[in-house]
Amino acid sequence: MELNIGMNIKRLRLAKGLTQEQLAELLTISTAAVSKWEAKNTYPDITMLFPLAEIFGVTVDELLGYDEAKANADVDKILAEYQRLYVDGRFAEGKELIVNARKKYPHNFRIMDKYMWDKAEGSAGNDAETLLKNKDELSQICDCILEGCTQDDLRAEAINMKAKLLHAVGDTEAALEILSKLPAWHAPIVKEQLFGKDTAEYRYWNKKNCYGLMDVMSIKLARIIRFDPTLSIAEKIARIEPMAEAFAEMSKQKDLEFFCIGEESIYAILAGTLTADNASIDDVIRIREKQFAAMKKMMTLAEIDDVLKEQIQSTYKSDDMVAWQLNRLLNSPHPQFAKLRENKLYLEMLNKWA
C-alpha cells in the first residue's frame, strides 16, 4: 500500500493554519525535514507519528491514510444525501448534515467546499452581509483548499469564493482580477485538439463539448429575460417560450437532434420562473408538459447516443430524467411545490407522466 503521509501532513498542517516552520518548531526538528516529508522524499520516523497525530487532532491511522478509502466512501454518501435534500427543498436538513460532516471530516476538501457554499447561502446572488459576517472562516477555507488541494474544480470554487469576498468588501477590481485565474472557457475545447480529427476520441470530445455548450448557452439566453426586472410574467413567457420552440424546430433536422438539449433547458428555466413567480396554473402546467416532452426526446436520443446518455447520467444520476423530475415535483416538501400539488389539474398532469 502506498502511504499518503506526506500529502496528509501538508493537508492537515494547512487545515491547522501552521507553516512548515511552525510545525517543525512544535516537533523540535528542522524545517527541511518537514519539507522533505511533504515532498514525499522521506517518511517521518515512527517516533514522530504520535506527536504529529496529536498536533493535528487525528488518529495515527488517519495520518497514515489507512482509513482514507473508508472515509471517502462515507463522504460520497454524505454529499449524495446533501444534494438530495437540497433538490427536495429540505434546506435546513441539508445545512445540518453538512455542518455535522464538517465536524466529522474537518480536513476533507470536498466537505469544505460544500460547507463553504452553504455558509454563503448559495453560489449565486450572494448577500454581501452574509459573506462579510462569515468572511474570516470562508477565507480560511479558501486558503486551505488553494494551498493543499490538487483537484481543479475545488480550487476553482475557492477562487470564486475569494472573488466574492473581495467584491463584498468593495474591492471589485481585485475580484475581477482573481477570477482571471480560473480556467479559460475554451479549456474543455482544447481537449478535443489533443486528438486527430479522424479519431473516435476527437469525435467524442467534440460532441461532448457541443452538448455542454448547448446546455450552457440556452440556459444563459433564457436567464437574460428571466432576471429582467422590467418584464412582467406574461412578457417573460412571450419571449422565452419562442426560444424553446425554435430549438425544438431545429431538433427535427437530421444531425441537429441534439438541439432538444437547449429546448429542455429553456423550458426548465421558464417552468422554474413561473413556479417562483406564482404564475397562473395553466401556464405552469403547459410549460411543465413541454419540458417533460423535451426530456422524453433527450432520453430517446440517448438510446443511440452514448455521449448524451453520459451527460444525462452525470446530471441526474439516472437514465430517466422524467422519473427524476417527477420524484422532485411530487415529493419535495418545498412550499412552492407543495402548493402546486394542491391543484387537481397540476397533480393529474404529473401523474400522467409517471
**Count of structural domains, the chain:** 3
Contact 214, 262 (CB under 8 A): yes
Distance in angstroms (rounded) separating the CA atoms of residues 52 and 216: 46
Contact 52, 44 (CB under 8 A): yes
Q: Would 74 be classed as within a structural domain?
A: no
Cα 115 → chain centroid: 12
10 Å Cβ neighbour count for 41?
11
Ranges under pLDDT 70 in the chain = 1-3, 66-68, 184-190
My answer on whether 230 and 167 are in the same domain is: no
My answer on whether 47 and 104 are in the same domain is: no
Q: Would 297 be classed as within a structural domain?
A: yes
Three cell numbers at 199?
479519431
Distance in angstroms (rounded) separating the CA atoms of residues 254 and 275: 34
My answer on whether 204 and 141 are in the same domain is: no
My answer on whether 310 and 219 are in the same domain is: yes
Distance in angstroms (rounded) separating the CA atoms of residues 337 and 127: 25
Model pLDDT, residue 114: 96
* DSSP conformation letters of 94-153: HHHHHHHHHHH-TT-HHHHHHHHHHHTT-SSS--HHHHHHTHHHHHHHHHHHHHH---HH
Q: Would 79 be classed as within a structural domain?
A: no
In terms of C-beta density within 10 A (0-12 exposed, 13-18 middle, 19 or more buried), how is residue 332 classed? middle
My answer on whether 233 and 260 are in the same domain is: yes
Model pLDDT, residue 1: 41
Three cell numbers at 89?
427543498
My answer on whether 137 and 212 are in the same domain is: no
Kindly list the distances between the CA atom of residue 257 and the CA atoms of 151, 184, 192, 263, in Å, as whole numbers in the listed order: 34, 28, 21, 11
Whether the model pTM is above 0.85: no
Q: Would 211 be classed as within a structural domain?
A: yes
Segments in 303-341 forming alpha helices (H): 306-316, 321-331, 335-341
My answer on whether 149 and 196 are in the same domain is: no
My answer on whether 40 and 105 are in the same domain is: no
What pLDDT, in 10s, does the model give residues 114-150? Answer: 999 999 988 777 788 999 999 999 999 999 899 888 8
Q: Would 77 be classed as within a structural domain?
A: no
Distance in angstroms (rounded) separating the CA atoms of residues 105 and 160: 23
Q: Would 73 be classed as within a structural domain?
A: no
SS in 3 state form for 76-92? HHHHHHHHHHHHCCCHH
My answer on whether 177 and 155 are in the same domain is: yes
My answer on whether 234 and 264 are in the same domain is: yes
10 Å Cβ neighbour count for 25?
14
Q: Would 76 be classed as within a structural domain?
A: no
Distance in angstroms (rounded) separating the CA atoms of residues 96 and 88: 15
Range of the domain at 136: 86-183
Of the three residues 165, 183, 201, the one that is the final residue of a domain is 183
Of the three residues 145, 160, 183, the one that is the final residue of a domain is 183
Distance in angstroms (rounded) separating the CA atoms of residues 294 and 244: 10
DSSP state of 195: S
My answer on whether 215 and 349 are in the same domain is: yes
My answer on whether 175 and 194 are in the same domain is: no
Distance in angstroms (rounded) separating the CA atoms of residues 307 and 201: 12
